[in-house]
Structure 1
Amino acid sequence: MAKHSAALTSLCNCLRGLPPVDVEWTSVIGLANQTLTTPALIDFVDQFASVLPEDVCTYIRQIYRRNVLRNDRLAGQLEEAVVAMNGQGVTPVLLKGAAALATAPDERRGVRLMCDLDIMVVPDEAERAVAALGAIGYEIHDQAPPESRRWYVELNRSRDVGTIDLQRAAPGPAYRYRGPGHALNHCVRALLGRGSVYIPTPTYRALMLIIHDQFQDYGYWLGDLDLRHLVELRDLNNSVEGLDWKELSSHVSGELMKNAVETQLLALAALLGVEIPHSMRSRLIPRLQFMRQLMQARFPATRVPFLAMTVLDLRNYRREATTGYAPPTARRPGLWSMPRADTLQFLLRAATAIRVGKV
């Protein structure tokens, strides 16, 4: 337990570029691999190579170089897919890693480790997008069942290093985007090689990352930390355009959403040293949630007992979810009850499962 606790602090210090002090490298590298942040340590290695163990430098540089090669192939794959969709009159929106891949300078392409290419199209263009990708060899590997609220299609080809995750909406529950409206309102059109795409602004990309982690991946309920996405949020803030905190705050609607966003921002400030406005990191429930995240990251045995913290925002969740989906006559805001048995079972399974990239 003590090693795991020290590893989290040490890894975050490395990602912040702080000088290495009493680092237990086996644990730190193990945690970097678990959180998919090993390539992001290349800046730290370049800065402190003279005082680091040779095998640590060799390992991180090797992982980084391999990720550069992989991401170069992903970039080529992305351009080919975009050109094919453009040919059918579809201009896609690049999400998450795909947006990072399209906007990163060539020399920074290998810093982020990504699993797939997330692409969004408007609903009227979805069938044409799938057909365009099918015409260049993609096959449907998985897709949303007909009764699902969220439409998605996962496509792959045997020769590629990653899959394409095609979606018709931004990640997470649709009602979380009531404030900012449709994603296209927060995108700029850009060239991607021979193709044309929409890329969300840095602030909107930050919003989508937070909603993805906290709600689509259930991080808010499970108390998970996604260190790779925290690094991406930091890099978005350090970009030329940077993050507009006032704009980000204006996109937040409802108490639950506010608590979730501020929990993520607290982690960003405390773990990676990003300057966050005090008004966005001072409220009680987000601070309790962040303390829970730290405790669970350092002492995993506390994950199940801490599931009880989900009741802190259960009333807000039910009120906001009902407002988002149910007709006015069916809304019953203000009622509180225990979660259903199947909900508790799902959370318990998720809390005890090994989830790639999460800690």
Structure 2
Amino acid sequence: MAKHSAALTSLCNCLRGLPPADVEWTSVIGLANETLTTPALIDFVDQFASVLPDDVCAYIRQVYHRNVLRNDRLAVQLEEAVIAMNGQGVTPILLKGAATLATAPDERRGIRLMSDLDIMVMPDEAERAVAALGAIGYQIHERSLPESQRWYVELNRSRDVGTIDLQRAAPGPGYFNRDPGQTLNHCVPTRLGPGSAYVPTPTYRALILIIHDQFQDFGYWLGDLDLRHLLELRDLSSPLGGIDWNELISHLSGELMKNAVETQLFALAELLGVEIPRSLRSRLIPRLQFMRQLMQARYPATRVPFLAMTVLDLRNYRREAAIGRTKTSARPRGLWSVPRASTLQLLLRATTAVRTGKV
């Protein structure tokens, strides 16, 4: 990523639709490919084609049109899966990319590049959902261990372009999602052909996406940026979608969650120019986290030293996780201790690994 780090500002300007100026296209396209945002540059190409290099326009249009074909196949696959689960009395909740496929206008279907279909079902529906998908040819590629705190099953078929990631809870630490019915309370019904499913409201989709990036994908601890998901948040915040900022705030329980969500929103405002309420982009720790993200993107060698910043919020994580387990506001002991060796090893491996789509 180091050779493309200087292209971050140029790529974000392109994604914002700003006029091209002094763009080093090899680096920008390279970074767009690494962050899985190349199809999203189609709007920029359509707007400025007359002043862009022909090979840049041709490449982006080819990637975009290929992604349209791929996402069309994913949409067909999703509809078939929903109908199969409906046949077993299961009405699934579509998360992340699956929700985008179900709600985006056909002409915008190729903007987002996605690799799987995230689908959530209630705990008492999980085995019926697996059986329904097995009946139409899906095989279990991977599933959580019996003792795992988080249940999931990854299913695939050889003829499909993506896998199905079946879950019983929205992404994030368990103490954020103790009640699966909470997600259902923030959903609206939708139709996929003759099938029926639920899709979270734009505000709750934004919350799920942020929690996924910041915690399930370790982005908050590692200082990662996910431009592809920032673009989705931008689309959700548009007048056609609409994030209710007051409602979003109402879901933020505890300092750790506030810091993580506000870090993502600060990046959204600074990199993509989205109007975010000042109250959600003015606190110190989110600002420091965003500065860390920029520094790491431009100078990847700083990633390991900056791991020390995780200690700033590790005590919040431990306190809130313990409160969630005990359902008490009492402050448990031992929250100021340093991270366990296994935790440090996990974070160190992740921060030095090549992570698809991350800056």
Q: Provide the TM-score with structure 1 as the length reference.
A: 0.97
1:7 and 2:13 equivalent? no
Pairwise mapping of residues 90-239 of structure 1 onto structure 2 (< 5 A)? 90-177=90-177, 182-239=182-239
Deviation sequence 1:252-296 (CA, Å, 0-9, x none) = 000000000000000000000000000000000000000000000
How far 1:214 moved relative to its partner?
0.3
Distance 1:358 1:58, change over 3 A: same
Give me the whole-angstrom Cα distance separating, in 2, the residues matched to 1:180 and 1:118: 15
Contact 1:179 1:252 in 2 (8 A): no
1:299 and 2:299 equivalent? yes
Distance 1:66 1:207, change over 3 A: same
Pairwise mapping of residues 264-275 of structure 1 onto structure 2 (< 5 A)? 264-275=264-275
Give me the whole-angstrom Cα distance separating, in 2, the residues matched to 1:182 and 1:62: 41
Give me the whole-angstrom Cα distance separating, in 2, the residues matched to 1:89 and 1:315: 43
What amino acid maps onto 1:32 in structure 2? A
SS of the aligned residue for 2:114 comes to coil
How far 1:327 moved relative to its partner?
7.0
2:312 corresponds in structure 1 to: 312
Q: Provide the TM-score with structure 2 as the length reference.
A: 0.97
Give me the whole-angstrom Cα distance separating, in 2, the residues matched to 1:99 and 1:329: 35
SS of the aligned residue for 2:185 comes to helix
Give me the whole-angstrom Cα distance separating, in 1, the residues matched to 2:55 and 2:212: 35
What amino acid maps onto 1:314 in structure 2? L
SS of the aligned residue for 2:142 comes to strand
Pairwise mapping of residues 39-50 of structure 1 onto structure 2 (< 5 A)? 39-50=39-50
How far 1:328 moved relative to its partner?
5.8
How far 1:240 moved relative to its partner?
1.9
What amino acid maps onto 2:137 in structure 1? G
Deviation sequence 1:67-89 (CA, Å, 0-9, x none) = 00000000000000000000010
Poorly superposed stretches of 4+, deviation over 6 Å: 178-181
Identify unmatched segments of 5+ residues in structure 1.
none
SS of the aligned residue for 1:94 comes to strand
How far 1:239 moved relative to its partner?
4.7
Pairwise mapping of residues 245-284 of structure 1 onto structure 2 (< 5 A)? 245-284=245-284
SS of the aligned residue for 1:117 comes to strand
How far 1:177 moved relative to its partner?
4.0
Deviation sequence 1:24-80 (CA, Å, 0-9, x none) = 000000000000000000000000000000000000000000000000000000000
Deviation sequence 1:129-179 (CA, Å, 0-9, x none) = 000000000000000001111100000000000000000000111322469
Identify unmatched segments of 5+ residues in structure 2.
none
- Number of corresponding residues: 359
SS of the aligned residue for 1:141 comes to strand
Contact 2:2 2:300 in 1 (8 A): no
Contact 1:14 1:20 in 2 (8 A): yes
Distance 1:175 1:48, change over 3 A: same
How far 1:326 moved relative to its partner?
4.5
Deviation sequence 1:92-143 (CA, Å, 0-9, x none) = 0000000001100000000000010000000010011000000000000000
Contact 2:36 2:357 in 1 (8 A): yes
Give me the whole-angstrom Cα distance separating, in 1, the residues matched to 2:86 and 2:180: 26
Alpha-carbon RMSD: 1.8
SS of the aligned residue for 1:182 comes to helix
